[in-house]
């Protein structure tokens, strides 16, 4: 007895989304679903799914990664970015990396304080490096803002958004009680 395409797609999606499905079984079901949708032309209809925006590192974490896994991956990316090339090492191109070039006493903490939220906190920022004083008011220096922007780029690399889905998580980069990037 044959089943319609909709029933097969629904069953595969249920298998993929079920929390007790094993990793290899989930991957096989996802590949099967992708083949069915590609053959049926369902991906060509121009629906809301085509309006989704995925971060550059979304595939690295995977569709079913929880926030703790993403937090660990962001931490690893920050460590890698700081050590990718040592300052002063000969390179063919002049690499500009606010994360690599920031003072060594600066540290970072990446946390998921509650579901749906990831916060990167920049700690140990030297006053002279991270802040400028104008008319008695401290404001964020361009170097600190560039550092926050680079951290936000790493953070948003694991996120997605779209017309038919909400964000995977809301992220921010802060220094103390000042939020630099939402």
pTM value is: 0.63
Q: How many domains does the chain have?
A: 1
- At residue 136, the pLDDT reads 87
Q: Is the pLDDT of residue 28 over 50?
A: yes
Q: Is the pLDDT of residue 3 over 90?
A: no
Give the range of the structural domain holding residue 126, as residue numbers without chain letter.
Answer: 3-181
- At residue 1, the pLDDT reads 45
Our CA dihedral for 60, 152, 172, 148, rounded to 10 degrees, sits at 150
The mean-pLDDT minimum among 127-136, 155-164, 170-179 falls in: 155-164
158 and 73 Cβ atoms separated by less than 8 Å: yes
DSSP strand pairing (170-175 vs 117-123):
parallel
Q: Residue 171 in 3-state DSSP? A: strand
Q: Is the pLDDT of residue 34 over 70?
A: yes
The model's confidence at residue 172, banded by pLDDT at 50, 70 and 90, is very high
Q: Is the pLDDT of residue 41 over 70?
A: no
Residue with tokens 């029933």: 7
Q: Is the pLDDT of residue 151 over 50?
A: yes
- At residue 50, the pLDDT reads 59
- At residue 113, the pLDDT reads 92
Give the mean pLDDT of 101-120: 94
**Long-range own/partner contacts, residues 49-53 (CB < 8 A, 24 or more apart):** 49/162, 49/164, 51/162, 51/163, 51/164, 52/160, 52/161, 52/162, 52/163, 52/164, 52/165, 53/160, 53/161, 53/162
**Sheet containing 117-123: which strands, arranged edge to edge?**
107-111, 117-123, 170-175, 178-181
Give the mean pLDDT of 19-34: 83
Q: Residue 61 in 3-state DSSP? A: helix
Which of the pair, 109 or 37, is modelled with greater confidence?
A: 109
């Amino acid at each position: 007895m044959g089943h319609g395409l909709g029933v097969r797609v629904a069953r595969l999606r249920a298998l993929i989304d079920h929390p007790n499905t094993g990793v290899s079984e989930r991957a096989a079901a996802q590949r099967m679903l992708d083949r069915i949708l590609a053959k049926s032309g369902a991906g060509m209809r121009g629906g809301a799914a085509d309006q989704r925006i995925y971060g550059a590192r979304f595939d690295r974490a995977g569709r079913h990664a929880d926030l703790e896994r993403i937090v660990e991956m962001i931490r690893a990316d920050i460590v890698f970015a700081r050590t990718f090339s040592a300052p002063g090492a000969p390179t063919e191109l002049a690499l500009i990396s606010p994360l690599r070039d920031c003072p060594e006493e600066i540290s970072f903490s990446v946390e998921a304080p509650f579901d749906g939220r990831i916060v990167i906190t920049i700690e140990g920022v030297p006053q002279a490096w991270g802040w400028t004083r104008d008319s008695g008011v401290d404001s964020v220096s361009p170097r600190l803002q560039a550092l926050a922007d680079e951290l936000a780029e790493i953070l948003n690399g694991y996120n997605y958004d779209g017309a038919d889905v909400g964000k995977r998580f809301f992220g921010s980069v802060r220094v103390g009680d000042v939020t630099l990037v939402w």
